[in-house]
Structure 1
């Protein structure tokens, strides 16, 4: 009829075609999301996380997972416990930041069966079979925290290379804690130290300072653990405690326990020195893989040399969130 407009829809797809196309789009998006979370990236012969790719400079392959479990044993040998901070037996919610293979979270869940333990990490490398009160999530601690529950205890260990702004993580932890809740940070300090001048000019000395320089250029300094106490005070924590432990890097000390710790610390670094170096030095200083390997050969020789009296200072800071009836110290 004159004046009426007709709409030419063009070629019409059957409803089955539309559903099929939509289903393919959803499936493709799901695969892409799954790959971003559960996929991995290969670089210089090592495997790295793909979720928020490039943030963490250590690999997550099986070799590194084995080293992380060895390092857990080293921490346990050093501390004699999973935590240094005194904790109440009535814990409800616990968060382990940067849980890695999840071994700490699993053992903590076993020791505190009434607590709900959550481990978070960029890499989904935790075991499938865990205690019923232990769960893991793939998440980025540098992004906004969306937890609906408050935590009674937040734990972070060996996070020195993880964050661009560790002070922000400490402030987030303060906000996520219940009143009277505790934050504990356990970290090796860089650069590596020496009892005397026996490390001067050696590859180990070159390595520790070049790694520090490269990490700073990448915007993720590995020298921040010394400031944890300061940042805790600024966030509002009270009753802050600082303790130091030492890892000799081979069996050069005299004491029996010191030699044992030194043996494990030496193996930890021998197993991990490539993981700790490859991405940092190739990305930060633009070294070639071959240049890195040449330096690491000398580093390994120094780690086996009992005349080199090197050690790592391991620092632990813990503090408490004040209750509503308390005023944070200035």
Structure 2
């Protein structure tokens, strides 16, 4: 098993062996938790910026939290609405903290492109044979990764699962989508899958140990599991992400909200992928770390391109990313969320800051003797 630590500069490392219109539960709008700035701070700061700026293009203008409510109709699931945005309904153990509407789906597809760029224009880092029979994409979202994978592996049966039916119907013939809650026992037989792919499940999983045990159960002996997660923290190597910035507050919202829900976002920080993969029985575990820039500030052309797509993904739906967790963590409404996102948008657009976030890919193999 190996551990490949993130380098001191932004960039990659090379892996080495080793419905119902109910809102979410609210926190009292009293005193903010220790270390977190209150919603009034962001409202006042946004108003001050708006007063200084004749055109409000980079502040409160373009993206209204209560605008664009492209609902997704389904006979399978009934969605809930929070501040005009649709989310997966709270049924059983299934949970999702991001909207499942068109606005967020477009952001997810942009994210897929920047993640593919980060991986060197690859869909996976785990070594796979071209003749694998069956691949499973857990938490497939819009299905874009599964579609690309099915195109690249036309002789492989590919299955994508998610709790929301937001995937397209026009897909490669070797791909199917199924509604399934990955926090319960999976419906696939033991020893039936060659490759299990999981991405961006942070904030949705209460028991990561059980998740990887299910992946181990369904994997064929010799099969592979690959997990991609990221940190919610904006960091900088030059101190340009200050303690009082909106960027610095971002991770605090997710960390606190995840703790209150019992579904952590600190998967990367606590090394959960490797730990629980190892506990489940996987071997030959490898780790790949990458500092992904946000914005076009890097000089390196490849990193600049990645950074611009990271910014574009956020620009597509700042409010969608933060809305649910700000509600859970601080009891914020649309006004506070809109003001906070205006400040965050301004900081990232300014070019004065050099933020990045950490990506991590971990993969391992089920022993042939299992």
Q: TM-score, normalising length from structure 1?
A: 0.84
Aligned to 1:97: 138
Aligned to 2:311: 266
Aligned to 2:102: 62
Aligned to 1:291: 336
The one-character-per-residue Cα deviations of 1:216-274 (angstroms, maximum 9, x if unpaired) are 21211111133211111111111100001222111111111111111101111222321
Query: Structure 2: any 5+ residue segments left out of the alignment?
Result: 1-72
SS at match of 1:307: coil
Q: 1:187 to 1:274 in 2, by over 3 A?
A: same
Poorly superposed stretches of 4+, deviation over 6 Å: none
Aligned to 2:150: 109
- The yes-or-no answer on 1:131 pairing with 2:176 is no
- Compare 210-219 and 34-43 and name the one that shifted more: 34-43
SS at match of 1:156: strand
Shift of 1:277: 0.8
Aligned to 1:10: none
Q: Of residues 75, 84, 94 in structure 2, which corresponds to 1:45?
A: 84
Q: Of residues 247, 255, 262 in structure 2, which corresponds to 1:219?
A: 262
Query: For 1:91 and 1:263, how far apart are their aligned partners in 2?
Result: 35
C-alpha contact 1:36 1:51 (8 A) present in aligned 2: no
Query: For 1:91 and 1:35, how far apart are their aligned partners in 2?
Result: 33
C-alpha contact 1:191 1:223 (8 A) present in aligned 2: no
Query: For 2:257 and 2:88, how far apart are their aligned partners in 1?
Result: 20
- The yes-or-no answer on 1:229 pairing with 2:274 is yes
Equivalences, count: 292
Query: For 2:210 and 2:127, how far apart are their aligned partners in 1?
Result: 24
Query: For 1:189 and 1:158, how far apart are their aligned partners in 2?
Result: 10
Query: For 1:227 and 1:281, how far apart are their aligned partners in 2?
Result: 24
Query: For 1:272 and 1:228, how far apart are their aligned partners in 2?
Result: 27
Q: TM-score, normalising length from structure 2?
A: 0.75
C-alpha contact 1:51 1:123 (8 A) present in aligned 2: no
Query: For 2:237 and 2:337, how far apart are their aligned partners in 1?
Result: 26
The alignment's C-alpha RMSD in Å is 1.7
Shift of 1:51: 6.5
Query: For 1:82 and 1:129, how far apart are their aligned partners in 2?
Result: 20
SS at match of 1:194: coil
Q: Which residues of 2 match residues 299-314 of structure 1 at below 5 A?
A: 299-314=344-359
C-alpha contact 2:293 2:354 (8 A) present in aligned 1: yes
Query: Structure 1: any 5+ residue segments left out of the alignment?
Result: 1-33
Query: For 1:190 and 1:283, how far apart are their aligned partners in 2?
Result: 16
* Structure of larger gyration radius: 1
Q: 1:312 to 1:187 in 2, by over 3 A?
A: same
Shift of 1:69: 1.0
Shift of 1:300: 0.7
Query: For 2:248 and 2:83, how far apart are their aligned partners in 1?
Result: 24
Q: Pick the structure with more helix per residue.
A: 1
Greater RCO between the two (CA within 8 Å, min separation 6)? 2
Query: For 2:309 and 2:320, how far apart are their aligned partners in 1?
Result: 17
